[in-house]
């Protein structure tokens, strides 16, 4: 099973170096967006993109705007190309048998996230193969409308989008796409039934996972001119806001809760049930008058509340108040009102606030300082929240070459505590976060 922490810890140095070249300049976000599947779409399969003159070169080319080795990167280095094959392995067989499914590789439940899942035979082109897993069109959309025209000289990104290419440049839209599989929704979800059967725990952060994928595109000045700049801290906060929104939807969903008063187990903090009693957490934790109770798993909301504080203290305070009423009320009333108010706050205020945020070193430093201090004072963090804090801190540092360089050592030490959920020790994370936070007081501004 995957341990994200270990992968993060080993890729972190590479990632920081990769990000050193990123310059913080303006970025406009477009409105929220959802994936639809109109019936005139025809999925052609990645075989239609893989010619060496198109996206299948072995090495990146200098002669065109794009790298042209995207297919090679995807098929060799990107787990998405193996997503279907995973359904044939031993773990998947065991998961399926635990669930009473005969064949994971034929089950719509698994295929909906582990392949370009197209139900209608009439929407599959000649070269479409389920075996290709999560391929180009899972993310870029069915290619029939734009395959011919997109490589013509003079065709712009806007033209391609008009012809049906999914626009993944707006980070809001990109996050929604990734989260549809990496968090799930009412149509496809990894619920506690699936976890209980053995599915690895899902966790996602837009900036970090973009680098881990790895990226088959380069944000250089040409890309910025054609599309938009990419700011890691904005990607992180946008991803958190989208995930906060998805979490609230899940809590409000009739499909994922029982009568709205007891959400599905996967919406609670996994490690509040799954931990060793020998740790005697009660000796270290403070429970604020609520010991022995289940805790909702809301890392994105909790972290977002901190991250937006330097941008808009009032919205952050409002979020804090609504979060505490949510925690108090969900057991009794289902907390429908708090969930609705939080949804409005996230969608109408927080997402636009992030889209408008300044991209200067001062703002990034203030956010870093706030989040590092929060990480260092968080009482007895679970692995879930610690991992999200770690990824958030790394995305913030990656925004500025200056910050990334100054705190490289502290970041590495923090990630060393996140190597695996099995060996995770809250007190080690807190100590590393304290060290980072103490030196961030001297952050360049």
Q: How far is CA 241 from the centre of its chain?
A: 10
6 binds ligand HEC (CB under 6 A): no
User: Which tokens in the block code for residue 84?
Assistant: 């279907």
- Sole window of 118-126, 213-221, 374-382, 406-414 interacting with ligand HEC (rule: CB under 6 A): 213-221
Nearer Cβ to ligand HEC, position 156 or 344? 156
Decide: is 110 part of the binding site for ligand HEC (CB under 6 A): yes
Cβ atoms of 87 and 111 within 8 Å: the answer is yes
- Quick one: which of 107, 151, 416, 431 contacts ligand HEC (CB under 6 A)? 107
Does 112 contact ligand HEC by CB under 6 A?
Answer: yes
Nearer to ligand HEC, 177 or 311 (CB): 177
CA distance 44 to 81: 16
Q: Does 114 bind ligand HEC (CB under 6 A)?
A: yes
> Which uninterrupted H or E stretch holds 257?
strand 257-258
> How far is 364 from 369, CA to CA, in rounded Å?
9
Could you give the CA distance from residue 309 to residue 331 in angstroms, rounded to a whole number?
Answer: 28
Using CB under 6 A, which of the segments 10-18, 197-205, 235-243, 252-260 binds ligand HEC?
A: 197-205
Cα 443 to chain centroid distance, Å, stands at 27
By three-state DSSP, how is residue 148 classified? coil
Is 80 near ligand HEC (CB under 6 A)? yes
Does position 8 bind ligand HEC by CB under 6 A?
Answer: no
Query: Using an 8 Å Cβ cutoff, are 322 and 248 in contact?
Result: no
Is residue 118 at the binding interface for ligand HEC, with CB under 6 A as the rule?
no
In angstroms, give the least distance from the CB of 98 to ligand HEC: 9
Q: How far apart are CA 63 and CA 57, in angstroms?
A: 12
Q: Find the shortest distance in angstroms from Cβ 237 to ligand HEC.
A: 16
Q: Say how far apart CA 5 and CA 390 lie, in whole Å.
A: 9
* Residue count, binding to ligand HEC (CB under 6 A): 73
262 DSSP assignment: E
Residue 140 as a binder of ligand HEC (CB under 6 A): the answer is yes
Q: Which residue has the tokens 């502290």?
A: 410
Q: Which of 179, 204, 184 is nearest to 194 (CA)?
A: 184
The binding track of 233-272 with respect to ligand HEC, each residue x by CB under 6 A or -, is --------------------------------xx-x-x-x
Contact 412, 372 (CB under 8 A): no
Buried b (16+ CB within 10 A) or exposed e, 244-258: bbbbbebbbbeebbe
Report, in Å, the least distance between residue 445 CB and ligand HEC.
31
* Per CB under 6 A, 223 contacts ligand HEC: yes
Does 380 interact with ligand HEC (rule: CB under 6 A)? no
- When the beta carbons of 239 and 310 are compared against ligand HEC, the nearer one is 239
Residue ranges in 154-173 that form contacts with ligand HEC under rule CB under 6 A: 168-169
Q: How far is the CB of 410 from ligand HEC (least distance, A)?
A: 24
Integer-rounded Cα radius of gyration of the chain:
22
Quote the CA–CA distance of 375 and 307 in Å, as a whole number.
11
Chain residues 269-288 in contact with ligand HEC, contact rule CB under 6 A: 270, 272-274
Q: Which stretch binds ligand HEC (CB under 6 A): 201-209, 315-323, 371-379, 415-423?
A: 201-209
Nearest CB to ligand HEC, comparing residues 2 and 25: 2
Residues numbered 20-79 forming contacts with ligand HEC, rule: CB under 6 A:
46, 49, 55, 65-66, 70-71, 74, 79
């Amino acid at each position: 099973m995957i341990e994200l922490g270990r992968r993060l810890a080993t890729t972190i140095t590479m990632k920081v170096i990769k990000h050193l070249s990123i310059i913080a300049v303006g970025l406009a976000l477009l409105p929220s967006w959802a994936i639809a599947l109109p019936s005139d779409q025809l999925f052609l399969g990645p075989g239609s993109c893989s010619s060496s003159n198109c996206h299948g070169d072995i090495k990146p080319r200098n002669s065109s705007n794009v790298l042209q080795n995207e297919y090679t990167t995807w098929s060799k280095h990107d787990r998405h190309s193996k997503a279907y094959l995973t359904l044939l392995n031993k773990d998947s067989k065991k998961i399926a048998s635990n669930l009473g499914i005969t064949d994971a590789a034929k089950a719509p439940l698994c295929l909906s996230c582990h392949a370009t899942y197209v139900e209608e035979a009439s929407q599959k082109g000649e070269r479409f193969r389920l075996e290709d897993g999560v391929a180009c069109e899972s993310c870029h959309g069915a290619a029939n409308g734009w395959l011919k025209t997109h490589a013509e000289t003079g065709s712009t990104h806007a033209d391609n989008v008009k012809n049906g290419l999914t626009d993944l440049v707006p980070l809001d839209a990109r996050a929604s796409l990734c989260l549809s599989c990496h968090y799930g929704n009412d149509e496809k979800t990894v619920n506690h039934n699936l976890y209980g059967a053995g599915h690895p725990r899902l966790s996602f952060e837009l900036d970090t996972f973009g680098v881990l994928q790895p990226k088959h595109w380069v944000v250089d000045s040409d890309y910025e001119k054609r599309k938009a700049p990419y700011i890691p801290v904005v990607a992180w906060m946008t991803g958190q806001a989208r995930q906060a929104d998805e979490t609230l939807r899940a809590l409000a969903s009739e499909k994922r809760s029982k009568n709205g008063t007891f959400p599905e187990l996967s919406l609670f903090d996994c490690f509040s049930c799954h931990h060793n009693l020998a740790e005697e957490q009660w000796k270290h934790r403070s429970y604020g008058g609520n010991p022995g109770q289940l805790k909702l798993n809301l890392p994105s909301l909790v972290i977002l509340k901190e991250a937006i504080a330097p941008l808009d203290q009032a919205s952050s305070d409002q979020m804090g108040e609504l979060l505490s009423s949510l925690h108090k009320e969900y057991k009794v009333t289902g907390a429908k009102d708090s969930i609705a108010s939080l949804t409005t706050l996230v969608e109408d205020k927080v997402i636009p606030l992030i889209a408008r945020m300044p991209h200067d070193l001062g703002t990034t430093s203030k956010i870093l300082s706030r989040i590092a201090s929060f990480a260092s004072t968080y009482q007895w963090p679970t692995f879930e929240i610690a991992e999200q804090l770690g990824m958030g801190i790394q995305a913030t540092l990656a925004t500025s070459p200056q910050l990334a360089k100054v705190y490289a050592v502290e970041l590495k030490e923090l990630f060393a505590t996140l190597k695996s959920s099995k060996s995770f020790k809250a007190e080690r994370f807190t100590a590393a976060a304290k060290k980072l936070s103490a030196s961030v007081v001297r952050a360049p501004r």
